[in-house]
Structure 1
């Protein structure tokens, strides 16, 4: 009998059995507008491999509809979902505030921020309403794609039609603040609105030039304003307590460490854009954009109008303070660092 017991244990060991604690494969739903061939999906394949090493097997599934991916997480058909910061806002306003307009102007700022997000110091902010953030990594800076190169300073935005994503209340407030006209859009159609001429301006990462063929909307007169109005990130969201604390911490570190590879691809997309397509702006215009975007964020926070309060409501105060400190860490001479009306 003893020999039989030993034989059974050996056989179970060879078959990969690990008892009641055996880990099942989890569903990892990844939104990428280009599907499994896209930049986000390919970048997260490295996360998939490292999660397996950490003891969590994942079954990756591509989604080209972000709303569907979010719905499947809520319905329990996904255990982890990878969405843009806009998609993440419905789960967590702290990490969702990373895409606050103009709040993370440079990649150096984003790199510092990702280290902070992987630190236990902000753990309490990364779990809200039954969901938690398992990490953040870059998708690239958002630039203004314009159909006229003369749109190279803040004042030139007045009267122009600018696409604004549904639910992106802060961007809508900015558009109205500068006297432009918001054109409601979705991730699935913003590029076509620009390409068809229904909008004069649209904001997107550089990858959209090739992947979404946004060069078509530029025509012969347009270009891409070489100043980032924000950062687009991919964020992992899961139901709280779906994974143990050790893996959650590991996951956040893995995502943070994807930064070099993600940025290699981002910069590859940026370098592939013909030089004459970039609209270079003067240092004065850069300062104008920086101050305008800061003024918009402050105006939202002080507004007593419904639209302003709705816009300000998408920002988490602690994250806005962290972002300001990061900007002043990387650029201590900026006006905001000594201004009295600091965020």
Structure 2
């Protein structure tokens, strides 16, 4: 009898171990400016644990240099890479357009958008012939960090030096549109340029105040304009075929469910900024910012200038329409919702 039990267990063993054996190991390269200690990396560790239950074992590798993460991904050293929406533009212009200047002004808008991106109805937009986007999660609204509190309205931007990331053609156009001076920067050094006084203004999520010590560049007279000029997201990209289609769909849902945790940390960073450091602007100035940012986007779409067209090419028309519909869903009384020149 004992021998029979052992025999049964012996033949049953493979079925007991199948889930562990079936968990496919993949290299997951994650960009976070703070490396493994950053909140993006730690948030995606939750995703990693959830992926195991779906049969995929992810080996995470932290990068504090986005370009290096991209290079390793393109060299085939990463099956999956997590980069910013700026970094993802080379792979998918639809999700790369989320960071369009002023296009997602409120976290309420972002929440609706995250729900849309997890829907099968937009799945085709997350695919190209070569790459797939496996999910999008928030990194926080981008605010203007300034070295002078008097830079609190659109007209005050004129003549100021503003950092602009390499390849961020739409942001460069906005800077030139308002009469400011672009200061070339990279994600790895923009805060250094601001902190040492080479730029008057730099845009970044609130977490940069503490993580990148951007309070140093603000000095005694600076602050953070409490109006988002865009949203920064982290996006997961893989080569088409690197993961089974079932997991691709599951991954998008898993990432969308991280929204509450990501927002908890984002708000924690924003709430930790001393209230005296925030620069509140009047409702009139908010409307002026909204009008200016919308004017920038419309100008890019209509201009025949080659450099402006380069900026316009950063935006996917379908995404811009979705973003406009989202804004009008959360704020139906906005002027743009009834304007004839709607995006």
Q: 2:38 & 2:108 partners in 1: Cα distance? A: 24
Q: Deviations over 1:129-175 (max 9, x none)?
A: 40010000100000000000000000000000000000000000000
1:110 equivalent to 2:115? Answer no
State whether structure 2 residue 82 is matched by structure 1 residue 77.
Answer: no
Matches within 5 A, 1:1-343: 9-10=11-12, 12=14, 16=17, 22-343=22-343
Deviation at 1:10, TM superposition (A): 4.6
Deviates more, 1:202-211 or 1:49-58: 49-58
Does the residue aligned with 2:24 lie in a helix, a strand or coil? coil
Q: Deviations over 1:23-54 (max 9, x none)?
A: 43101111001011101001111101111111
Moved more, 102-111 or 45-54: 45-54
- The offset of 1:306, in angstroms, is 1.1
- Native 8 Å contact 1:102 1:290 kept in 2: yes
Distance 1:315 1:163 in 2: 20
**Structure 2 CA distance, aligned partners of 1:182 and 1:284?**
26
4+ runs deviating over 3 angstroms:
3-14, 16-19
**Structure 1 unaligned residues grouped into runs of 5+:** none
Matches of 1:118 and 1:282, distance apart in 2: 35
SS at structure 1 position matched to 2:56: coil
How many residues matched?
Answer: 339
Deviation string, structure 1 residues 256-293 (Cα, Å, up to 9, x no partner):
11010000000000000000000010000000000100
Is the contact made by 2:22 and 2:55 (CA closer than 8 Å) also made in structure 1?
Answer: no
CA contact (8 A) 2:23 2:52 kept: no
Q: TM-score, normalised by structure 1?
A: 0.96
TM-score of the two chains, using structure 2 as the length reference: 0.96
- Runs (5+) with no aligned partner, structure 2: none
The CA distance in 1 between the partners of 2:252 and 2:19, in whole Å, is: 27
SS, match of residue 225 in structure 2 = strand
User: What's the CA shift for 1:18?
Assistant: 7.2
Contact 1:91-1:129 within 8 A present in 2 as well: no
Q: Distance in 2 between matches of 1:17 and 1:256?
A: 28
CA distance in 1, matches of 2:223, 2:24: 49
Aligned equivalents of 1:38 and 1:309: distance in 2? 36
CA distance in 1, matches of 2:45, 2:121: 28
CA distance in 1, matches of 2:23, 2:144: 45
Show CA shifts across 1:299-318 (max 9, x none): 00111111110000010000
SS of equivalent residue, structure 1 residue 52: helix
